[in-house]
A = this chain, B = another copy of it.
Amino acid sequence: MTEHGDHPIVHVEYPEWVDSIVDWNCAYATDEDRMKLAIAVSRTNVECGTGGPFGAAIFEMNSGRLVSVGMNSVLRYNNCVLHGEIMAFMMANQRVGSFTLNAPNLPPHELHTSCEPCAMCLGATLWSGVQRVVYGAAREDASILSFEEGPVFPESYHYLEERGIEIVRNVLRAEARAVLELYRQKSGKIYNG
């Protein structure tokens, strides 16, 4: 892929199992309903061996309409940036046809993610235009598996909050953490150790 006219191409799709667990037409009413979906994505990703134990989903805040899901795809695509949240943002951008979910013609959107976002994904939430971030398992839960979260500080969250992004922590934390534990039991690869 090094010669003129023969460059690398990045091509990203959902794994085949996505429709077996995602109901695209259901309205996800509560935070628990929405987090359950993010956790189900993380769990299926582990069970099917398609990636790390992390899942995410983006919803219209008020209607609960599902816009996208994202599953960690670092190993599946040999691509270091394809965390669950990044995948969810990219797919949501594609689906709404806008580089921001905070466009004047769009309703407000929110991210649910099965685990506290890493530094990259927390930065990306700003660019995505979501107005609310809800996470399940905490940084400490991921670090038990030696997954690193990068340079995230209390000030990082303050920065987002000052820009109007609401942060909600530890929703269904035990269920989310159980998927991390499952990955550990299966001796899943720690790709960012």
Interface residues of A (CB under 8 A from B): 1-5, 7-14, 18-19, 24, 68, 74-75, 77-81, 86, 89-91, 93-95, 97-100, 118-124, 126-129, 148, 150-151, 153, 155-156, 159-160, 191-192
CB-defined A-B contacts under 8 Å, sample of 6: A7-B91, A77-B99, A78-B99, A80-B127, A81-B89, A123-B150
CA distance A175 to B53 in the complex (A): 43
Q: Which residues of B contact A124 (CB under 8 A)?
A: 80-81, 120
CA distance A166 to B90 in the complex (A): 30
| Chain B min CB distance to A82 (Å) | 8
**Are A80 and B99 in touch, CB under 8 angstroms?**
yes
CA distance A95 to B8 in the complex (A): 6
Q: In chain B, what residue has the closest Cβ to A158?
A: B151
CA distance A192 to B93 in the complex (A): 14
| Chain B min CB distance to A122 (Å) | 7
Known pairs A1-B94, A79-B93, A80-B99 / 13 extra A-B pairs, C-beta < 8 Å? A8-B95, A10-B91, A11-B11, A78-B97, A80-B129, A99-B191, A119-B120, A120-B121, A120-B124, A121-B123, A126-B151, A153-B153, A153-B156
**Are A81 and B81 in touch, CB under 8 angstroms?**
yes
| Chain B min CB distance to A50 (Å) | 14
Q: 7 closest A-B pairs (Cβ-Cβ)?
A: A119-B123, A120-B123, A8-B94, A151-B159, A151-B156, A10-B12, A80-B127
